[in-house]
Structure 1
Amino acid sequence: MSDILDARMLAEVFVTLFVIMDPPGTVPIFLGLTGAMTGRQRNRAARQAILVAFGVIVSFALFGQQLLSYMHISLPALQASGGLLLLLVAMELLTGKMESSAQPSGATGVNVALVPLGTPLLAGPGAIVATMVFVQRAENVADWVAIALGIVGVHVCLWLSMRFANVIHRVLKDSGTILISRIAGLLLAAIAVQLVADAVRAFIQAG
């Protein structure tokens, strides 16, 4: 079995990405970003966000190091840019602009399932960097299988958490969802500041 699947690597990949991508923690942010959507639209947004996040993670796992090296981009720079983008989204959640921009009549606007939900919220700098580190550690087929299963498993958990967000929305109603979106905005702002702070610390240490 160890020749086909490295169980220890699988557990490490799954736990690490689960903690970073935080499926339970995405529920309030998902509700805040999709508060003005119908149940069907919210389900579609969940599928799109998962597909985008999965595509980004897999792409960076396979080609991330080569891409960053070619463009002379460091991992701290990627982390800082993701943090700044999340900070902008957090401000929109806190001020209520996200709800107005997510109205059905504003269908020509940005699809929140792609940005910021799919990336950089789900497939953010932390998840991308962690995946690239695991790929660099892979030495055989068993390691690659473990990494692949770990990534798939976390994305299944993410989909389940957002799929049942409709149930939470029915319980909270619109007023409760607005309250959750404000709390989510505060939490997201803290995550964004931490990403930028970590990036600055990495820049200083590298210098």
Structure 2
Amino acid sequence: MTPEILSSVFLLLLVLDPLGNVPFVLSLLREQTPAQKRRIILRECAIATAVLVAFLFVGDWLLAVMRLSDPALEISGGLILFLIALRMVFPPAGHNLAEAEPRPAPFIVPLAVPMIAGPSALAMVLLASRQSGDPLPWVGAVLLASAVNTGILLISDPLARILGRSGLEAMERLMGLILTTMAVQMLISGLKVAFATA
């Protein structure tokens, strides 16, 4: 696996934000038994992975239909990631996901979509599909990132006990800072290409 793919795995993990989603998963599945939690998490993560992989193969076609250029996608993707990063670093009021209304048995919504396969993750795989002539290597990146994300969500209960609320918030802010830097780099790259071809 090339350094570019490894970088994409890391960026996708930042976008998926499994640590930031732990409180949401705990709240959403708090009425389920441990066995039911594992089954639901595995099912929803599998659905989200399938959606992301599908976008790898149809992303180039979608961009062609919508007549979107590489710089436009890179700039918009950078803006989306930057806004997400700001929310991670500076959570808005009422961000306490642990108090979210529980749902008895979520299916696709809201776990698979949009919590895991959200707009930012879909935009990222669309960009990868547009920039790469062969989407197959990126399938491995999506599968690896999804596997790590699934593993973290599966251990959400012990992870929450170990890190605590403050620990989870600190980790989310750290990932937000890293994501901010990567989003700015995407914006710079997109703007360079846009102005060079203008």
Matched, 1:91 2:86: yes
Among candidates 177, 189, 197, match of residue 168 of structure 2: 177
Displacement of 1:20 in angstroms is 0.4
Structure 2 SS opposite 1:96: coil
Report the Cα distance in structure 2 between the residues aligned to 1:88 and 1:194, rounded to whole angstroms: 14
Displacement of 1:176 in angstroms is 0.9
Report the Cα distance in structure 2 between the residues aligned to 1:154 and 1:59, rounded to whole angstroms: 15
Structure 1, unmatched stretches of 5+, are 1-10, 139-143
- Tell me the amino acid that sits aligned with residue 128 of structure 2: A
1:150–1:189 distance in 2 versus 1, CA, 3 Å: closer
The corresponding residue for 2:113 is 114
Report the Cα distance in structure 2 between the residues aligned to 1:118 and 1:28, rounded to whole angstroms: 8
Matched, 1:195 2:186: yes
Deviating runs (4+, > 6 A) in structure 1?
none
1:36–1:47 distance in 2 versus 1, CA, 3 Å: same
The corresponding residue for 1:56 is 52
The corresponding residue for 1:21 is 9
Q: Which has the higher mean CA deviation after the structures are superposed, 89-98 or 149-158?
A: 149-158
- Tell me the amino acid that sits aligned with residue 82 of structure 2: L
- Tell me the amino acid that sits aligned with residue 114 of structure 1: V
Matched, 1:204 2:195: yes
Q: Deviations over 1:36-92 (max 9, x none)?
A: 54174786567545633541332331x222221221101221222222122222222
- Tell me the amino acid that sits aligned with residue 51 of structure 2: G
Structure 2, unmatched stretches of 5+, are 31-36, 104-108
Matched, 1:80 2:75: yes
Report the Cα distance in structure 2 between the residues aligned to 1:84 and 1:30, rounded to whole angstroms: 21
Q: Output the aligned Cα RMSD.
A: 3.9
How many correspondences in the alignment? 185
- Tell me the amino acid that sits aligned with residue 38 of structure 1: L
Q: Deviations over 1:104-153 (max 9, x none)?
A: 43569x9476346423554443x43434555x348xxxxx6x77666545
Among candidates 121, 128, 131, match of residue 130 of structure 1: 128
1:150–1:173 distance in 2 versus 1, CA, 3 Å: closer
1:92–1:206 distance in 2 versus 1, CA, 3 Å: same
The normalised TM-score by structure 1 is 0.65
Identity of aligned residues (%): 18
